Amino acid sequence: MRRPSLGLVAFLVCLSLSRHAPRVDAKPRKSSDDGKSHEDQPDESKEQDECVPLDLEALEDYRYCQLYERVCAHQDTLITHDFRYSFANPKREMVPELPYVDIWNFPAALEANTDALRGRQPKYHLQFRTASAHEPTPALRHPSFSACTLPVVLAPEFPFNMGEFFARAVAAVHSLALDPRVTLVLLTPQSLGLAPFHSLLMQPYSKYPLITSADLGARGCPQEERKQRRRADNEEEDMDWEDGESGDAEAVPADRAVAWSPDASQPHCFKRLLYCKWDIQARVGIPLAEVAARVVSAMQAARQLPVPSLVYNGAEVTDPEPNDPQHDPRDPVQLRVLVESRHGPVRNIKNLQDLLDACKEADKRGFSAGGFTGISCAATSFSDAATGRVSRSRFLANVAAVRTAHVLVVVHGAGASNSWWMRQGSSALVELRPCLFGTKYGSWPDKYLPPQHQKSRDKIRFFALNVEDPEQCENGDIEAGLFNKSIAKGSLTWDHSYFARDKHLRLKSGPFLGFLKHVAALLAPGDTEAYSAAREADLLHGYLLPGGGLVLGQLGVKNATEWVEKEAAEVSTYNDWGEPRY
Ligand SMILES: *[C@@H]1O[C@H](CO)[C@@H](O)[C@H](O)[C@H]1NC(C)=O
Ligand SMILES: *[C@@H]1O[C@H](CO)[C@@H](O)[C@H](O)[C@H]1NC(C)=O
């Protein structure tokens, strides 16, 4: 039976790709057909100077990254030519297993985290083995180790969660202070591609585009379109691109150049490769505001931020200079509040329009708090409503959008990560936590943004508003679907903390606006003294109580009703426009 060769299939794929690929005239790679084993020979060719400097001493003390030498990449496998692992070495060491990414949620085309939908996926890593007698491609059979392409494989937990990716992988890469000539490679599982945020957040740290591990291990495309010869009859024969008539010598086809490497053709083997895996306990010391400043200034330097267009209090607001770091379009006395409008099955603010209307009315009635004598509110969605996807242009538009506001209001979730792109020193984040999520299960959300922003010296001031009034919470669609049996039990993770997190909100406008006055009062630009004093006094965060009252307190209150009783704390009540009711 005749079968088309794999080589032919690959060749056809390359033909279709080659129309878009830039043509670079590269020297064909030297073929080394002398039959010598490369495993025990240090590489000696001239072009092998280290052209990407690496601080080896610093790396030695850094337990999250491991350096490997003389490594090839093929699909999801790394192949080592290091003599210490060679079978020819009588004192051979066992090839280590590369660390796994243990925890991640499937990135469904849905505006909801899939953990509550049993979206946790199996752990993954790259395979790691020594070079063998049966390497699948000429490039692997005759490896030429690139010294100028240094792949840094990044293997963070929760790779598809933007907040986690920023706080772990981006912050870690920032602190590593690598030479920008490294090639950053994100280890993605299950043949998944990159999300636009991956590339945008990593852009300051390499002059090359971020790639996936699949890109690194891609088979490559030959430089010239060669005559294809069918060799399907003989299974002993290699099913590869053949070059000329040579019977004994096997030419290594020169690949096309790739954007992620300075080499004249796609490299498959590397003198050095760094594999970095940050486990869930990994400590990243750097203040995230510093990392965020770097990310935003790279976008501005590349003039990537679009002119924003938002509707605050019914009027269009824009910023003609989003890429000018010195320019601040905000009126310093008009408090601008941007509220995330979420779609999808969970954590929506069901009466967002009522809140916007109340805000406008409050402004008319003379809103005044701290240095502000007016308030205007706008709503924006950070992702595509149908798919939950955040495209590249949407991501950049989100960055520009949050920079028009003093205060960003979000229901706990990935949207809160956009607080990092706000103007530092004069902005605040209000994180809404649905019923029980800020109290009974409060240790969960309290772990993330509050300490991150505090460690960033409150460059963005964090406020939690914990909704504990059952009238202001509604079951999320997932929980509702479980109870009305429209969602199969087996497709869900039955966990009450997920149900609490995933509730919808229907906020009463009065206490919401009352809380925004509290935020405004602690938002003096460049001066966090009053803010810090409120934190010290345990009066920073808010609890919306049954009956519509608001009480200020610290994080970690387990039952706000009982706590108010016990502490005899002062409960404020408001009319619909946030004016105190006596
Ligand atoms: C069950 O709950 C879901 C989510 O709220 C809702 O969309 C659906 O209409 C409900 N189905 C029935 C039969 O009540
Ligand atoms: C908090 O405590 C009050 C008074 O003991 C109780 O009625 C209420 O159910 C508790 N709330 C929650 C959410 O557990």
Question: Is residue 568 classed exposed, middle or buried when 0-12, 13-18 and 19+ CB atoms within 10 A define those classes?
Answer: exposed
Q: Indicate which residue's Cα is closest to atom 5 of ligand 2.
A: 562
Q: Indicate which residue's Cα is closest to atom 4 of ligand 2.
A: 562
Q: Ligand 2 centroid to 558 CA: how many Å?
A: 9
**Tokens 């966090």 -> residue:** 528
Taking the CA of 442 as reference, the closest ligand is 2
- What is the C-alpha to C-alpha distance for residues 38 and 7, in angstroms, rounded to an integer? 25
Q: What DSSP designation does 31 have?
A: P
457: left (phi over 0), alpha (psi -120 to 50) or beta: left
Q: What is the pLDDT of residue 358?
A: 98
List 461's β-bridge partners, or say none: 428
Q: Which mutation among 350, 484, 491, 499 tests ligand 1's pocket best, with the greatest number of atoms within 8 A of CB?
A: 484
Q: What is the pLDDT of residue 120?
A: 85
Q: Indicate if ligand 1 lies below 6 Å from the C-beta of 329.
A: no
Q: Indicate which residue's Cα is closest to atom 12 of ligand 1.
A: 484
What are the structure tokens assigned to 153, written together?
């494989």
Q: Ligand 2 centroid to 532 CA: how many Å?
A: 30
Q: Indicate if ligand 2 lies below 6 Å from the C-beta of 454.
A: no
Taking the CA of 436 as reference, the closest ligand is 2
Q: What is the pLDDT of residue 437?
A: 96
Q: Which mutation among 559, 563, 565, 566 tests ligand 2's pocket best, with the greatest number of atoms within 8 A of CB?
A: 559
Q: Ligand 2 centroid to 565 CA: how many Å?
A: 11
Q: Which atom of ligand 2 is nearest to the CA of 565?
A: 4
φ/ψ of 543, rounded to 5, equals -130, 125
Q: Indicate if ligand 1 lies below 6 Å from the C-beta of 486.
A: yes
What does DSSP say about strands 374-380 and 145-146: parallel, antiparallel, or unpaired? unpaired
Which secondary-structure segment (H or E) carries 360?
helix 352-364
Taking the CA of 439 as reference, the closest ligand is 2
- What is the C-alpha to C-alpha distance for residues 299 and 402, in angstroms, rounded to an integer? 14
CA angle 200, 201, 203 (to 5 degrees): 65
Question: Is residue 104 classed exposed, middle or buried when 0-12, 13-18 and 19+ CB atoms within 10 A define those classes?
Answer: buried
Q: What is the pLDDT of residue 413?
A: 87
Q: Which of 115, 117, 185, 191 is nearest to 152 (CA)?
A: 185
Q: What is the pLDDT of residue 522?
A: 98
Q: What is the pTM of this model?
A: 0.88
Fold of domain 305-581: Rossmann fold (3.40.50)
Torsion sign (Cα): 29, 32, 33, 38: negative
- What is the C-alpha to C-alpha distance for residues 230 and 248, in angstroms, rounded to an integer? 18
Is there a contact between 151 and 270 (Cβ–Cβ < 8 Å)?
A: yes
Q: Ligand 1 centroid to 478 CA: how many Å?
A: 9
Q: Which atom of ligand 2 is nearest to the CA of 439?
A: 13
What does DSSP say about strands 315-318 and 309-312: parallel, antiparallel, or unpaired? antiparallel
Q: What DSSP designation does 105 have?
A: B
**Tokens 């692997």 -> residue:** 140
Q: Indicate if ligand 1 lies below 6 Å from the C-beta of 480.
A: yes
**Tokens 């345990």 -> residue:** 538
Is there a contact between 378 and 101 (Cβ–Cβ < 8 Å)?
A: no
- What is the C-alpha to C-alpha distance for residues 437 and 500, in angstroms, rounded to an integer? 5
Which secondary-structure segment (H or E) carries 397?
helix 392-402
Q: Indicate which residue's Cα is closest to atom 7 of ligand 1.
A: 477
What does DSSP say about strands 211-212 and 504-505: parallel, antiparallel, or unpaired? unpaired
Q: Which atom of ligand 1 is nearest to the CA of 478?
A: 4
Q: Which atom of ligand 1 is nearest to the CA of 481?
A: 2
φ/ψ of 270, rounded to 5, equals -135, 140
Q: Indicate which residue's Cα is closest to atom 11 of ligand 2.
A: 559
Q: How far is CA 429 from CA 326, 409, 416, 533, 550, in A?
A: 22, 6, 8, 18, 18
From edge to edge, which strands make up the β-sheet containing 407-411?
Answer: 374-380, 334-340, 407-411, 427-433, 460-467, 541-544, 550-553, 571-572
Tens of each residue's pLDDT in the chain, 582 residues: 444 444 444 444 565 444 444 333 333 333 333 333 443 344 444 444 568 988 888 888 888 999 999 999 999 999 999 999 999 999 999 999 999 999 898 888 776 777 777 788 999 999 999 999 999 999 999 999 999 999 999 999 999 999 999 999 999 999 999 999 999 999 999 999 999 999 999 999 999 999 999 999 999 888 764 544 444 444 444 444 444 444 445 677 788 999 999 999 999 999 999 999 998 777 778 999 999 999 999 999 999 999 999 999 999 999 999 999 999 999 999 999 999 998 888 899 999 999 999 999 999 999 999 999 999 999 999 998 778 889 999 999 999 999 999 999 999 988 899 999 999 999 999 999 999 999 999 999 999 999 999 999 999 999 999 999 999 999 999 889 888 888 888 887 778 998 999 999 999 999 999 999 999 999 999 999 999 999 999 999 999 999 999 999 999 999 999 999 999 999 999 999 999 987
Q: Indicate if ligand 1 lies below 6 Å from the C-beta of 485.
A: no
Is there a contact between 466 and 560 (Cβ–Cβ < 8 Å)?
A: yes
Q: Indicate which residue's Cα is closest to atom 10 of ligand 2.
A: 559
- What is the C-alpha to C-alpha distance for residues 505 and 511, in angstroms, rounded to an integer? 14
Q: Ligand 2 centroid to 535 CA: how many Å?
A: 25
What are the structure tokens assigned to 568, written together?
């005899």
What are the domain boundaries of the chain?
A: 61-225+253-286, 305-581
Q: What is the pLDDT of residue 28?
A: 37
Could you write out the DSSP letters of every residue in 446-465? HTSHHHHHHHTTTSEEEEEE
Q: Indicate if ligand 2 lies below 6 Å from the C-beta of 561.
A: yes
Q: Indicate if ligand 1 lies below 6 Å from the C-beta of 481.
A: yes
Q: Indicate if ligand 1 lies below 6 Å from the C-beta of 502.
A: no
Q: What is the pLDDT of residue 241?
A: 47
Q: Indicate if ligand 2 lies below 6 Å from the C-beta of 175.
A: no
Q: Indicate if ligand 2 lies below 6 Å from the C-beta of 562.
A: yes
Is there a contact between 95 and 81 (Cβ–Cβ < 8 Å)?
A: no
Q: Which mutation among 486, 489, 504 tests ligand 1's pocket best, with the greatest number of atoms within 8 A of CB?
A: 486
Q: Indicate which residue's Cα is closest to atom 5 of ligand 1.
A: 477
Q: H-type helices in 115-244, by residue range? A: 138-141, 162-164, 171-176, 196-202, 213-216
